[in-house]
Amino acid sequence: MAAAAPVSTPAPAPAPSPARAPLQAPAARPLPPGYTLHPGYPPVAAYLHLRAASGLAPKTPAQAAPVAAGSWYGCYVTFTPPNSDSDSDSNPSNGPERETEAGAAEIVAMGRIIGDGAWYFLIADMAVLPGHQRRGLGAAVLCRLLRHLRANAPCEGGGVYVTLFADEAGRALYRRCGFADPMPLHLGMMMPVGWEERWA
């Protein structure tokens, strides 16, 4: 008598993934006294100083000059000391963006969006002067950029692609605002320094 064939037991169906809670944009927080957020772009000298002083790669005046015309949207933060007669200790950063007139504003943070106005956008030039960091300025700039993008880009139906390069110091902020590592689906790539010589 032949042995009965083993009866295979079907594998249990995988448990359904828990529903993901919708991402909530961070609540807007008021800036500390003396700080004001403006739409637009810093002058070339202030732009160059902000990049270099905050640790971003330095750029030349020729590279900085087309920034405003080549961007989709930008904003920056100014600081006016509450006491216009205060000395340099109350205004911790120095550079070409600092005005010498009593009560004049100093440009201390910035950010911008480069994009086609349709579905592809890059957050760039996120910078805060070291003496003004850890005061919520970077978060204020990033939230303003994202809210402007949401209100003015054709986001209905999804498919709007927003990306950035995340330096280590800014990753926690970017994650709080909803940015995620796209690996393993996508890998960000860039041309290395000196690529121009190879393509001359």
Which residue has tokens 């086609």? 116
Q: For residue 169, what pLDDT is reported? A: 85
- Most confidently modeled of 81-85, 135-139, 155-159? 135-139
**pLDDT for 157 beyond 60:** yes
3-state secondary structure the chain: CCCCCCCCCCCCCCCCCCCCCCCCCCCCCCCCCCEEEEECCCCHHHHHHHHHHHCCCCCCHHHHCCCCCCCCEEEEEEECCCCCCCCHHHCCCCCCCCCCCCCCCEEEEEEEEEECCCCEEEEEEEEECHHHCCCCHHHHHHHHHHHHHHHHCCCCCCCCEEECCCCHHHHHHHHHCCCCCCCCCCCCCCCCCCHHHHCC
End-to-end Cα separation, the chain, in angstroms: 82
Q: What average pLDDT does this structure show over 122-132?
A: 97
Q: For residue 57, what pLDDT is reported? A: 93
**pLDDT for 115 beyond 60:** yes
Question: What span, in angstroms and rounded, lies between the C-alpha atoms of 68 and 181?
Answer: 29
Query: pLDDT category, 94, cuts 50, 70, 90?
Result: very low
Q: What average pLDDT does this structure show over 63-75?
A: 98
- Are 78 and 117 in contact by the 8 Å Cβ rule? The answer is no
Residue 26 or 189, more confident: 189
Please give the backbone phi and psi of residue 175, each rounded to the nearest 5 degrees, phi first.
-65, -40
Return the CATH class of domain 35-177: alpha beta
Question: What span, in angstroms and rounded, lies between the C-alpha atoms of 190 and 166?
Answer: 13
Question: What span, in angstroms and rounded, lies between the C-alpha atoms of 21 and 27?
Answer: 17
Domain spans of the chain? 35-177
